[in-house]
């Protein structure tokens, strides 16, 4: 899934998409295993 998301994000950047919702991952969640996703979402918002 991480590989798929990274490839999708690369493709969307190439085509001019400037926002992508990682679906189901909430910024308010305190799960340390998702910290990379939280950081990425913070950059976009």
Task: Give the model's confidence band at 14: pLDDT under 50 very low, under 70 low, under 90 confident, else very high.
Answer: very high
pLDDT value for 27: 62
pLDDT value for 44: 59
Q: Is the pLDDT of residue 16 over 80?
A: yes
DSSP 45: -
DSSP 1-42: -HHHHHHHHHHHHHTT------SS--TT---GGGHHHHHHHH
Tell me, yes or no, if the pTM score tops 0.85. Answer: no
Residue of 27 and 40 predicted with greater confidence: 40
Residue of 26 and 12 predicted with greater confidence: 12
For the chain, percent of residues with pLDDT exceeding 70:
78
């Amino acid at each position: 899934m991480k590989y798929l998301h990274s490839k999708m994000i690369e493709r969307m950047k190439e085509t001019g998409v400037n926002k992508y919702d990682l679906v189901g991952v909430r910024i308010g969640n305190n799960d340390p295993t998702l910290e990379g996703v939280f950081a990425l979402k913070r950059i976009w918002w």
